[in-house]
Amino acid sequence: MTTEQVLVVPAKMLNLSAREYISNKEEIAAFLKAAVNYRFIQRPVAEQDASYKQLIPYVSVICNGYILVLERTTAQGEARLHGKMSLGVGGHINPVDRGKDLLETISQAMTRELGEELWLQPEIPPLLAGLINDDTNSVGSVHLGIHYILPVRSRPKVRETDKMNALWIQPHQLEDLAPRLETWSQILLPHLTNPYHLQASKAPTPDSTARP
């Protein structure tokens, strides 16, 4: 059996705080510049080596003011996340996703992951919103979230219903779910419910998408 290869960046090159959400455009640009020094290594090695950060596209799907919340079941592969809720769809970047540069590589991995998780045909590309880092636990210490917001006009369905339950929640109701959210989603929560992000996440109308 072939061992999965995943994209990683040396953590020391990224200059990240232990727990934070980065939305500043200049800081995101500096991260992308540093992250061009990526490589692919075996996933079992990456999962145990905090000197590397595995880059994970992490997409929040918003439909008409409702945010997609995914609840992980015990059939989901990562045992450390069973029963947790997530405000994003994401996954590892593999060599098959390789593009002409880092952003295209991330984008192609994101498109693949969205297609694997959801029955979805996006009307517009996801919007790069920020970075999620959490070095306070074993999962977060070896991963870094590249957070995107994807506005849609109709609610997509989950493909693997044995692994994920889908809930559609209004922003003001998310605080009640905070104790059950995985740590990335807890970090993301106040930023995702920010009025600016919700306004930016509105899906275009049919008329607006038709304009040049």
- Could you tell me which residues come within 8 angstroms of residue 72 by beta carbon, excluding any fewer than 6 positions away? 78, 81, 82, 83, 84, 85, 86, 163, 164
pTM value is 0.86
Q: Give pLDDT tens digits for 115-169.
A: 999 998 878 889 999 999 999 888 889 999 999 999 999 999 999 888 889 999 9
In terms of phi and psi (left: phi > 0; alpha: psi -120 to 50; beta: otherwise), the region of 60 is: beta
Chain mean pLDDT for the chain: 87
What domains are there in the chain, each with its CATH number? 5-202 (3.90.79.10)
Q: Give pLDDT tens digits for 55-68.
A: 999 999 999 999 99
